A and B are shown apart, each in its own frame.
Chain A
Amino acid sequence: QVQLQESGPGLVKPSETLSLTCNVSGTSIDSHYWSWIRQAPGKGLEWLGYIYYSGTTNYNPSFKSRLTILVDTSKNQFSLNLRSVTAADTAVYYCARVATVSSLDYWGQGALITVSS
């Protein structure tokens, strides 16, 4: 079955870069689009962007200046780099498979990232 698993550092210092990887299993990454979503503590879901296996991306304009999403088809994984983080970037970060632009069908379990010195 399709499974996604986020991995990352857990704690990032202010002004540094948050890096996360999503490992995909049970399906080939070149069959769909893939997305990152985050959820601040006690808040709702916020879409960050998506990527296709070809490298085509679409970012939330709110993050476009400091967000990069990459794909590594040889490892069947994709990644997120969010630069110049602040405490407001503290959140659970989820990776998900894009079924359609309106629908995310498989989600990772989430990775809590805390931005603090």
Chain B
Amino acid sequence: QSVLTQPPSLSAAPGQKVTISCSGSTSNIGKNFVSWYQQVPGTAPKRLIYDNDKRPSGIPDRFSGSKSGTSATLGITGLQTGDEADYYCGTWDSSKTVAVFGGGTTLTVL
């Protein structure tokens, strides 16, 4: 059971927009920044978003992040087949003193 809660799967058509939610608590998302990672099967996770809403260099602006209270959201617009992947949210839990992740959301673009 993951500390952060994400929907297990989502699907959307090419060109559409999708949002992936990540729910936590006051000791993790409520207190700390959130990051989002994309993992194409068989490869290492890749950071998409950090500090709730910042994109590293090279990440297209189709990807966006936001946080409100104890929840965070990853948004992807203009979906492409190459966006098919698992997406994970992550943050620090100040009570448990561990880094925590969501269980991951498998995005299918069909």
Contact = CB atoms under 8 A, between A and B. Distances in A.
A and B pair up: yes
Interface of A: 35, 37, 44-47, 50, 58, 60-61, 94, 99-105, 107-110
Contacts of A100: 33, 50-51
Nearest to B102: A44
A7 to B, nearest CB: 15
Contacts of A105: 47, 50, 56
Among A61, A94, A102, A105, residue most surrounded by chain B Cβ atoms (within 10 Å):
A102
Contacts, number: 67
B45 A94 contact: yes
Interface of B: 2, 32-35, 37, 43-47, 50-51, 56, 88, 90-92, 96-104
Contacts of A46: 101
B26 to A, nearest CB: 15
A102 B50 CA distance: 8
Interface SS of chain A: helix, strand, loop or mixed? strand
Nearest to A106: B47
B96 to A, nearest CB: 7
B45 A60 contact: no
Contacts of B92: 101-102
Given A37-B99, A100-B33, 20 more contacts: A44-B2, A44-B102, A45-B88, A45-B90, A45-B101, A46-B101, A47-B101, A58-B97, A61-B96, A99-B47, A100-B51, A102-B34, A102-B35, A102-B51, A102-B91, A103-B47, A103-B51, A104-B47, A104-B90, A104-B99
